[in-house]
Amino acid sequence: MTRFDRRAFLAGLLALGTTPAWAADAAPGLSVTIDDFDLSPDPLMSGEARDQRLREAVERRGVKAAGFVAGRNAVDEVGARVLTAWSDGGHLIGNHTFSHGYYNGSDPQAYWQDIAKAEAVLKPFAGFRKLFRFPFLAEGKTVEGRDALRKLLSDNGYRNGHVTIDTSDWFYSSRLLARLKADPKADLAPYRQAYLDHMWEKATFYDGVAKTIFGRSIDHTLLMHHNVINGLFLGDLLAMFKARGWRLVDAASAFDQPELIRTYDAMPSGQSVVLQAAIAAGHPELARYPGEDSAYEKAKLDALGL
């Protein structure tokens, strides 16, 4: 059996649409959302210096980001200084659990306790909002487990800190990090280009799905991580999107879009909310689990010698 080609399938769906209606809409929007906040140093900079570069890249363009913080990364003085800087810059701070564990749906009460533990760490910072993002975008392998945790979150005032554009930036960063550990003076240019190409490919794919399902482009929430590749090249990434006609928007406004506030019941639960909407609308062919992963990118980077 030939492997299902999501891009070819999407192209067929787009060919059936009425493109003049889309052309009348605003260009797609892009908001920056950064996960985990592992502030470990890398061979080029400290975690705090990397964070400053990330914030400066966003603030230089006049927009506000969202950070989804694993509470364990915010319990020391460095974490506190970083989250204070995020708050002072007007950026959002969301809950990403304390331990960054995978939720399989088997024990929602225990998982909720880990979320509450993170809230106790994050709540003192002015930027904190009750937005929750699942680590690994995994919302449970069973309907019962998914729904039980959704109820706990809702009962405690939380909204879903959704992702529309899923990426494997973390894998590209891991390959760059391994290279830098071997040679701190390694040429960064090939990694920069591969990263930019990957992020653009994912953005245009997920925006195409949004057009198919919602009839228009949307303001996207881009999944990124607090890592070396974003620390180096986030500014270049945002410049690329702007040069190619995308709008840069505040994360807070992207989270408020009506189509994305609602929940979808497709299983397995999680991954990009745009794909969840597509599956719910009768396009299960667009689904794969996980949505993005190293398995889909390894051969590409191997071929590039990266």
pLDDT at 22: 38
What percent of the chain is modeled with pLDDT above 70? 92
Burial of 189 from C-beta contacts in 10 A (0-12 / 13-18 / 19+): exposed
Lowest mean pLDDT among 21-25, 44-48, 244-248, 302-306: 21-25
Task: State the virtual CA torsion across 284, 197, 204, 10 in degrees, nearest 10.
Answer: -40
What percent of the chain is modeled with pLDDT above 90? 82
Other Cβ atoms within 10 Å of 188 Cβ, number: 17
From CA 227, how far away is CA 194, in angstroms rounded? 16
| Confidence band, pLDDT 50/70/90 cuts, at residue 19 | very low
pLDDT (tens digit per residue) in 275-306 = 999 998 998 887 777 788 899 999 999 999 99
pLDDT at 181: 98
| Confidence band, pLDDT 50/70/90 cuts, at residue 13 | low
Q: Which CATH class is domain 27-304?
A: alpha beta
Residue 255 contacts residue 236 (beta carbons within 8 Å): no
Tell me the CB-side half-sphere exposure of residue 131, using CA atoms within 13 A: 24
Domain ranges of the chain: 27-304
pLDDT at 6: 60
pLDDT (tens digit per residue) in 83-128 = 999 999 999 999 999 999 999 999 999 999 999 999 999 999 999 9
pLDDT at 20: 34
